[in-house]
Structure 1
Amino acid sequence: MTPLRIATLAVCIALLMPITVQAESLEEDVSAAYGKWDAAFNETDAKSLATFYTEDTLFLPASHDIIKGPSGVEEFFGGLFDNGVTGHKLELIEAISEGDLVVSTAKWSAEGKDDAGAPTTFGGIATHVFEKQDDGSLRLKMHTFN
C-alpha cells in the first residue's frame, strides 16, 4: 500500500470515528432512559412514570386512544398497574438523532394475566420520540406501541 493510500485511509477512519462515538453515545443515552423508564414502571408508580413525558406529549397506546399530556399518561398507566401489569422491559432496536429530537424503536415486554387470569407475557414493538432537555436528559414527546 502506498503512503498516499495509507494517509487517505487514515483520514477516512479519523472522519468516521466521531460518528461512531456519537452513535454509541446516543444508544447509551437511549438505553439509560429506557432503564429509568422501566424502573419507574416496575415500581408501579404512575405519577413518577408520567414525569418522563413532556407537557405536550402525545401517547398512542395499542388501545387506539389518543392521550395528551403527562396526566393522561399517568391515568393510562395507573389502570395497567391496577390490573397487575409489571415486569416491563424495553430493548433498544435503533436510535437516530436530529437536533433536539431522538427517534428510537424498541422491543417491549411486560408480565400480566390473560383473560382467564393465568400469568402471561405481553410484548410488541414501540416507537419513541424523545426531546433532549437542557440538562441533557431525554423526555418522551411521542410514544406509541403495539
Structure 2
Amino acid sequence: MTSEVANKAAKWDDTFNKGDTATLGGFYAPDALVIPAGGAPVKGPEAIGNFFKDLRANGFSDHKIAVDNVIENGDTLIASGKWQLNGPGENGASKQYGGNWVNVVKRNGSDFQILLHTWN
C-alpha cells in the first residue's frame, strides 16, 4: 500500500510543480480540509486548488513528498512523511522549507481522495 500512496504523492507533486492547481483540487474529496501550519482551514476542492494557486503565485515551487508510513483501516488510510518546497527567502534568495505531513485518505474505487491534509 505504501507504494500506491507514494505513486499518488508523486502525481500530486508533479501536478503542483506544473502549476495545474485546478487539477490539484481534484485530488481532494468534496468535503476535504487542508489545515496549513498556523493557518486557517481550507475546505473543498475548489478552495484547496486556489490555496495552492496562491502559493505558486507567491513563488513556491519544486514540491517533493516522501511517504514514510501508511496505516490502513478498511477504506481509510492515514499516510505520513516528509515534505520540502522551495520558496522566497530573505533579500530575494530562494529558501528551502520542509517538515512533516499527514493525510487521511479514503478509497474511491481504485483511486484515493484526500479527506484531510495537514503539515508543520
- Using the size of structure 2 for normalisation, the TM-score is 0.96
- Percent identity between the two aligned chains: 32
Gapped runs of 5+ residues in structure 1? Answer: 1-25
Of 84, 89, 94 in structure 2, the residue corresponding to residue 109 of structure 1 is 84
Q: Deviations over 1:39-72 (max 9, x none)?
A: 1011011101101000010110114211110111
The alignment partner of 1:116 has SS state of helix
1:82 is the counterpart of 2:57: yes
The alignment partner of 1:47 has SS state of helix
Equivalent AA in structure 1 for residue 33 of structure 2: L
Runs of 4+ residues over 4 Å off in structure 1: none
RMSD: 0.9
- Which structure has more relative contact order (CA 8 Å, sep 6+)? It is 2
Higher fraction of helix: 1
Aligned length: 120
Gapped runs of 5+ residues in structure 2? Answer: none
Q: Deviations over 1:75-119 (max 9, x none)?
A: 110110101211000001100110111101010001111143211
Equivalent AA in structure 2 for residue 103 of structure 1: I
- Using the size of structure 1 for normalisation, the TM-score is 0.79
Higher fraction of strand: 2
